[in-house]
A and B are shown apart, each in its own frame.
Chain A
């Protein structure tokens, strides 16, 4: 008893975001709900060694992220906490296997970030300006670099924000309380509306 794979039944996951009641964005900023895309988190003093042993590269410092393989992003949220995210939803088997491998490993605790946090992927040249309307941290292109992670408040709820790049195009991943996903989507949609 005590261990079942949170990566199980991916086809039954359903985002709590109801886009039927949300105004669509008519904006140069695009926002995609990636909440059901596979991801897993690990914490504990054995986490870094575990990931290294499973050939997952990790950022050297806390509050950094990196991309590896195609569509996989690793966030280092503290010295001993890591989240692994599939941005294209094509790496489910890898993540599920990694989660299964964590079973029984000492000093390693699996996190429930798949189900505790919503995830938005946000792109567009005005993204930084839009975030300035909802976040007190400077996320402008000049200041917020690829690989940076900030753990802050967005529209008054706790959020984790990181910037990554793919095909020479920067994008932002935002993780926030899954129960607030509808509220946050609408707040960001509202903040984005002026950027036509």
Chain B
């Protein structure tokens, strides 16, 4: 059974009658129909109790059937706080209520309601903090009681993504105003996006009754929907929520697991209005609903919502609700009209003809729950004697449903996010939205227009304005006005026993709001923060207006003067997954990447690149690194250095340009030679280094660090925009790949594959640059002391990278050449005392601290940062980068460990830090580099390093390099 209360077709716009769906609620199996929400399926099975309220654990059922309230927050197996009147059921869905102690029906904490007097508004701000230390006692209890639902910590992320949509006009809300606007705009040639949070188009036309006969909405919805769906200029997004408005109509629209980032030239907000409740005692009992909720149950889900219903209204719409209930077999004994008279007498006559009584100037003063508190059983009706005042006695009418309609409040959130001002006329109880920015428009009931013809006209008016702004032809619709009054000015009837809820989310009663003002919180924003009104999941959709009315009344101001609280995005709760979307993590591979994987490399990130750390298993890291280093020192090895930055400087002023950028002198750098290049910034700090190759008089090829090249390129182009030298600067990092073949046998390997270059020491000496080909592949060859051995850096156009790697590996096979990784390279460079910029330097390191004075030409008139270098190097020096050594048995410091001024003084100054550290089998000791105090730099002295667990180790300062002090090996013949 999909429920005992189903009404016949054509009712049930959302459901498919021949497809039943089983799910469980509180462990019991229920059957609903495809398209049912959890709430509609439960109500179809007479289960109105769905959850418990936040503070007093009161039984709660649906209020709006539109996901606008927190009364239906339920727990799914993997997700808390799901709106039962939004979440569509699916097979085997497991649902439970939330916020109860025991069972949903027998909640041990429902006694909290009796303690309400001890929990007045803001009590938590004034309790729990004294006497001192008492918070520690309260905290466990409060933490246990706070919060709603349970997060599934074993949750596996699911795929979410984002997509842009570009349209001339975005229409938010596909009710009659939105559809009319969309059609007019599209007919004029605009591309239109129509967004609606519901599964089908129509807005109020899908549930509301607009005429006594009850025929107009159905016909109009069918016509507008057909016109919209067949229009090729309109893209429709249903079950989609526009969750915010950002500058220039940038609209995040969430549909399923996707967030659309909408860019619209014009935006029409036709978001409708929230029906408002009446404040009276027990207005939260399950079965007390908005009139629109009852009509949604009938029209959208084909559910007969009750056997006997009372309608409480402050406008004519209550009469239409009564007609719809009666038509669908619900007994309606009475309409309670808070007004002295009806606006449309024909409506009154129509209900009276059906035998429905009408009581004017009356209200429900108290709702009475059934003995098990699960459902409404009766209402107590009192006549109204004044503003918020009722007669002392009244009559009790049994019923199982109460439909409330106190009026409407515009769905103003998006508009106010755009800067619109919401004003309220205290005499007519009408809202108006003004001060809209350019290219944003409002239409329909959000604009205070409620008569159907006027609503459609208002949508067309908004479209017309949009079309003119787009520069498209448009014929102005005839002007129509709507004088219909829908809001009862004071639907608040405070009860001496309380439980007259203003805010259902936070269990806030009328007295809580009034008491907040009495405590001095006159500003509605302060009332919000003190009382938490409007801070729950429904974000003031129903509490904002009664709060503003109560604050205004208590402070003797108008509602407009009081204002409403700020409505910030998101409009509905959104998941972080929606904001994150599909994760794009760009990463770069060198052309030899597959070869590294085939060789068992352990890959590590180097900025956005992936590089081999070493070739083997991480468990064998230390021994592998020593083996790879030993191979380079004794024979030959090859490393992929494609990630090195590459910059080309060409043109008549190339030498002048390079000379101004780098610290060394480059004007006289010979063609065919390389030169170390250090870059300082305007503060005199070393920020990059590389090798400058002079290919021709007007052509330099300069390497840069892997992580620094993009910044260097930006600096170069920035400075030349000022200098206007005749050069072309190109970042060719990706265009050139490179390997370094290093070791005593490197020359033998190169000689095998490259026949058009003479590799003899005389023809190709240390620091020379040559060009040649390797089996037809053009290559650039740099003889540099990369790791302190005879070595050649071979740069080739990237598409040849893998082929060249293969050729070199083949050539090196007879010398047992193998690749080595970046961690081995760091060890080899460390043994030679070569600094790595950004590892051995920081944001303050000037050339003097790094012992790079030799690479600074102090005679040339200018280089980038020269003035600052002069200043910082002239100052009294405070630290120095030095090499250090510890015995192999000592605890090896890690990079980042701090250097202390004294070993035995706990509160001594920190003088530096370790920048590089590794065990060297070549040296037979732990070696490293560290910044130390200027008085700690003397070779042979020791300084303390605090390592893990607070241990202090004493390191000895040694003269760099650790290995091959005469640099004989890199110039080996």
Contact = CB atoms under 8 A, between A and B. Distances in A.
Tell me if chain B binds chain A.
yes
A177 interface: yes
B162 interface: yes
Interface in B695-736: 695-696, 699, 728, 730, 732-736
Nearest to A142: B191
Nearest to A157: B586
A2 B698 CA distance: 9
Given A36-B799, A109-B728, A179-B734, A16 B778 contact: no
Given A136-B164, A156-B584, A16 B589 contact: yes
Interface in B598-651: 609, 642, 648, 650-651
Contacts, number: 131
Contact of A12 (B165, B736, B803): B803
A182 B696 CA distance: 35
Contacts of A12: 775-777, 799-800, 803
Interface string B797-810: 11111110000000
A157 B587 CA distance: 9
Contacts of B897: none
B797 A114 contact: yes
Report, as a range, how many residues of chain B touch the other chain: 35 or more
Contacts of B231: none
B164 A138 contact: yes
Contact of B734 (A135, A155, A177): A177
Given A16-B589, A109-B728, A6 B797 contact: yes
A8 interface: yes
Interface in B760-802: 771, 773, 775-778, 797-802
B165 A179 contact: no
Report, as a range, how many residues of chain A touch the other chain: 35 or more
A136 B166 CA distance: 10
A1 B672 contact: yes
A140 B166 contact: yes
B732 A133 contact: no
B671 A18 contact: no
Interface in B799-823: 799-803
B735 A18 contact: no
Given A44-B728, A115-B797, A178-B798, A1 B776 contact: no
B771 A1 contact: yes
A94 interface: no
A180 interface: yes
Contacts of B161: 133, 191
Contacts of B800: 9, 12-14
A49 interface: no
Task: Give the most central of A8, A35, A117, A179: most B CB within 10 Å.
Answer: A179
Nearest to A138: B166
Contact of A178 (B166, B672, B728, B735): B735
B778 A143 contact: no
A160 to B, nearest CB: 14
B229 interface: no
A113 B778 CA distance: 16
A38 B797 CA distance: 13
Contacts of A191: 161
Contacts of A178: 734-735, 798-799
Interface string B571-600: 000000000001011111111011000000
Nearest to B695: A2
A96 interface: no
B738 to A, nearest CB: 12
Contacts of B582: 133, 190
Nearest to B701: A2
B586 A132 contact: no
Given A18-B594, A177-B588, A13 B799 contact: yes
A184 B587 CA distance: 9
A163 interface: no
Given A109-B730, A112-B735, A114-B797, A14 B591 contact: yes
Contact of A132 (B164, B773, B797, B798): B164
B696 A8 contact: no
Contacts of B844: none
A111 interface: yes
A23 interface: no
Contact of A179 (B589, B730, B778): B589
B880 interface: no
B797 A133 contact: no
A177 B609 CA distance: 12
A133 B163 contact: yes
Contacts of B728: 43-44, 109
A115 B777 contact: no
A179 B590 contact: yes
A116 B695 CA distance: 20
A187 B797 contact: no
Given A44-B728, A178-B798, A116 B591 contact: no
A116 B166 CA distance: 32
Given A112-B735, A113-B735, A179-B733, 16 more contacts: A1-B672, A2-B695, A5-B778, A9-B800, A12-B803, A109-B651, A109-B730, A114-B735, A115-B735, A132-B164, A133-B164, A155-B584, A179-B609, A179-B642, A183-B586, A183-B588
Interface of B: 161-166, 191, 261, 263, 582, 584-591, 593-594, 609, 642, 648, 650-651, 671-672, 695-696, 699, 728, 730, 732-736, 771, 773, 775-778, 797-803
14 contacts: A2-B696, A5-B778, A9-B778, A16-B589, A16-B798, A43-B730, A114-B735, A132-B165, A133-B161, A136-B164, A136-B261, A138-B164, A183-B586, A183-B589
Smallest CB-CB A-B distances: 5 pairs: A116-B735, A179-B588, A112-B735, A2-B696, A13-B799
